[in-house]
Amino acid sequence: MTTSKEKASERARRIKELRTEIINHNYRYYVLDDPTVTDAAYDRLMRELTAIEEEFPELITPVSPTQRVGATPSKDFKTITHTLPMLSLANAFTDDEVEAFNTRINKLLNNDKDITFSAEPKIDGLAVEVVYVDGLLTEASTRGDGVVGEDVTHNIKTIRSLPLELTGDKIPRRIEVRGEVYIPMKDFEEFNKEREAAGEAPFANPRNAAAGSLRQLDPTITAKRPLNIFCYGVGTVTGKGWFKSHSEALAYIKTLGIRTNPLTRTVTGASEALAYHRKLEAMRDSGEIDYDIDGTVIKVNDIDLQETLGVLTRSPRWAVAVKFAPEEGETIIEDITIEVGRTGALTPVATLKTVNIKGVNITHASLHNMDEIERLDVRIGDTVVVERAGDVIPKITSVIKDKRPANTKEFNSPEVCPICGSKVELKVTLKGKAKVEVLGAILHCTGGLKCPAQRKGAIAHFTSKAAMDIDGFGAKTVESFVERELIKNSADIYDLKKKDLASLEGWKEKSIDNLLRSIEASKETTLARFIYSLGVPAVGVSTARVLADAFDSMDALAEATKEELEELPDIGKETAKNITDFFSDAHHTEVIGRLLARGVRPTKEATAKAGRLTGKVFVFTGTLDGFTRSEASLLVERLGAKTASSVNKKIDYLVAGEASGSKYAKAKELNITILTEPEFTKLIKG
């Protein structure tokens, strides 16, 4: 019979095996970008390790892969003094300045041959230093003022691409590794969408998001952020002879399990450095690089030459940051107007004097909300700096106060909706049971579906493919019908007659017949689609299905209490409040009643028969090629599975399409099985 001591010894041996194997897989996945096991196999290893450590907690060590978040929240940040200062870099903006940098180095070295440089992308993130002692991650700090930085040790440990323990045969007694913490663009966009859906203010850019995430006092919050890191150099290292050049240093730390940028190259002379710089800029502009970069860093490769060149007060003589051409421009705000969205949110939009940025004429830019207007202190008539955020969306980044004329006009918060004249108020949310807290400066029109702007948006949503799926009811059709007062709400769609449409320009007999057939066919629908079509704030496709599963009819849903709703999966307090508020509105209930009276028959789908996917829960993220997310959700539900909109421990599969965001990172963190589209297709086809 096995004794408890023998069992513990066996578990200790197995823990060591598992940790070694998982660390190796992390290295191949994050550093070499060459995984050798599937996500499912990796997940099984992590689950086994977690189970053993839960059974024998005395065997848990700080460097176990399960201990990415193990610290309690701090009250404040301590500071760490860098052994070697983390210097800033001098900038170069033109080819001539790069040539001058090269000439200056050759002159200082009394050299007449082309120098070999190491060149790499200049990532727009947060610089950090990570210290390993005897191979273990012992502390990490921000750059700070270059001499003293903030202690972010517990937060840096949440970054899964950074090893807690170094690998390899040649591990120094102590090594300081320097790098840049960043958030990939696709993850940043998804992360901001989730924040906005939760009623939180979006981050202005990936750098701010990365910096704010790494400076959280609670590392469990940092762990939820999609942070990543590239390491670009070494501070002090115990012993000598580890490497003779910067490129050798990067190759060496990569053998230790440290992630370095695969785009780093060695180049010879200023001409090759500039050619590399232009190639990087082209890659960034084409979207090949999925993180923010604002230039190229060029460093003398030979470390002995670096030491000979030395440093100035604040920057090394042997390196320069070559900046890309600006992706921003100056222009004048000619007006600020208000746009009203489907849910009644009022968005201030700046009308700009046309400015061309990277070949695109920019005439408008969203100002998001009144908080943003106040933060920028922007006025009509101001000269502003505009950039194309992510090379796509125009964004006002700053006001040039020195160019402010005397006749600028402040933009005042509207008291009534500019479309319908209804009262405007700030959207509020309830936190706790009694406290009411204003959720940012987000203005809302109180007119509901009586507001033409909200009415158009609501009808367009109602007729969309994921909702009632009425072909021929595009945005232009909705706008035309509403403006001609053919329809005032979604129920009026089912009152349309052939004679109503015959007199309209562009509507022929065939197109009219097709539209009326599509309207008639839409009456046979599912309860989930019908719930989604109503446009209840924060009720998406997945939440609508949760509600359809929980309630047998619209009457039952309309009578549900907030407490009953909050007990359902994927529904929080704010969503529950949105639902009860929606069904307590007399106008909404009247429209629903008319829809049902005109023959719309939302029926509850029969529970799928038990099968391969019964009991499984799926989340979809990114863009799928073969089908929409709604179609993919329907496929798995027909096989007995359920879908959800957010990632948590109850999720079985995350299906990741193109441009997957923070849901992907969170699924990785929770060891959820992640499927590519081909893997998903194979799964549902059996």
Closest CA to 147 of 212, 79, 213, 216: 79
The strand pairing partners of 335, in sequence order, are 351
Token pair listed for 134: 């005897």
Phi and psi at residue 386, in whole multiples of 5°? -115, 135
Element (H, E) at 394: strand 393-399
The strand pairing partners of 398, in sequence order, are 385
> Is the CB of residue 544 less than 8 Å from the CB of residue 579?
no
Rounded-to-integer distance, Cα 25 and Cα 634, Å: 35
Give the strand pairing for 653-656 and 617-621: parallel
> Is the CB of residue 227 less than 8 Å from the CB of residue 184?
no
Burial label for 391, CB within 10 Å (0-12, 13-18, 19+), is: middle
The strand pairing partners of 643, in sequence order, are 618
- Known catalytic residues? 122
Residue partners of 682: CB distance under 8 A and separation at least 6: none
One-letter amino acid identity for 123?
I
> Is the CB of residue 617 less than 8 Å from the CB of residue 640?
no
Q: Where are the beta strands (DSSP E) in 264-377?
A: 265-268, 293-300, 319-323, 328-340, 346-357, 360-366
Element (H, E) at 272: helix 269-286
Rounded-to-integer distance, Cα 405 and Cα 238, Å: 60
Other Cβ atoms within 10 Å of 464 Cβ, number: 18
Rounded-to-integer distance, Cα 631 and Cα 457, Å: 23
Residue partners of 242: CB distance under 8 A and separation at least 6: 170, 172, 249, 252
Rounded-to-integer distance, Cα 679 and Cα 685, Å: 10
Phi and psi at residue 42, in whole multiples of 5°? -60, -40
| Length of the chain (residues) | 686
Distances (CA, A) of 656 to 181, 197, 621, 668, 674: 24, 20, 5, 11, 7
Angle of helix 662-669 relative to helix 185-197, nearest 10 degrees, comes to 90
**SS3 labels along 151-209:** ECHHHHCCCCCCCCECCCCCCCCEEEEEEEEECCHHHHHHHHHHHHHCCCCCCCCHHHH
Rg (CA), the chain: 29
Three-class SS of residue 441?
strand
Q: Where are the beta strands (DSSP E) in 528-665?
A: 601-603, 617-621, 642-643, 653-656
